[in-house]
């Protein structure tokens, strides 16, 4: 996507500069430059600025305690507070070589850096265990709903 946006942005300008096209205004070239610039802005520049902001504002180390309970995760972050999240509130688990990303349904993001794990296989294994817990939680929730439906129907 970024490659295409570079072509759309730089292509018409480059052609004009090397004399490959007559110097006249054409709407196709203008549209190409605008679309390419907007695409570069959205997919390259804005994410880069967001990443820089997160890195600049985040602490190098932050004491954090994660307690994994049957009903969810209890998070104790120094200076931030204590939170309990159910397994159903996790909308995304993304293991990578840099750590494990948790995204919750309300948009809150938690990150466990790779330095907390032995290696990448350890990160993937941990993520699989969490996915199993989430699946079990959804299974329990469906069973509880079935029980509640049976209770209301009688």
Q: How many CB atoms lie within 10 A of CB 117?
A: 17
At 100-151, the pLDDT tens digits run 988 889 988 888 888 888 999 999 999 999 999 988 888 865 655 554 444 4
Tell me the β-bridge partners of 74: 67, 84
Torsion angle, CA of 124/125/128/129, rounded to 10 degrees? -140
At 31-43, the pLDDT tens digits run 777 887 888 888 8
Q: Is 22 exposed, middle or buried (0-12, 13-18, 19+ CB in 10 A)?
A: exposed
Whole-number pLDDT of residue 32: 75
For residues 67 and 52, is the Cβ–Cβ distance under 8 A?
A: no
Q: Residue 154's pLDDT band (boundaries 50, 70, 90)?
A: very low
């Amino acid at each position: 996507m970024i490659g295409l946006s570079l072509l759309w942005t730089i292509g018409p300008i480059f052609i004009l500069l090397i004399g490959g096209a007559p110097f006249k205004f054409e709407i196709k070239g203008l549209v190409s430059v605008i679309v390419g610039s907007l695409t570069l802005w959205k997919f390259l520049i804005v994410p880069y600025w967001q990443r820089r902001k997160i890195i600049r504002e985040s602490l190098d180390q932050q004491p954090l305690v994660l307690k994994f309970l049957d009903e969810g995760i209890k998070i104790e972050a120094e200076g931030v507070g204590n939170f309990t999240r159910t397994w159903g509130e996790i909308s995304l688990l993304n293991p990578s070589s840099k750590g494990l990303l948790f995204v919750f349904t309300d948009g809150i993001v938690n990150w466990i850096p790779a330095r907390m794990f032995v290696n990448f296989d350890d990160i993937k294994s941990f993520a699989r265990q969490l996915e199993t817990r989430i699946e079990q939680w959804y299974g329990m929730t469906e069973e509880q709903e079935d029980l509640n439906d049976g209770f209301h129907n009688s």
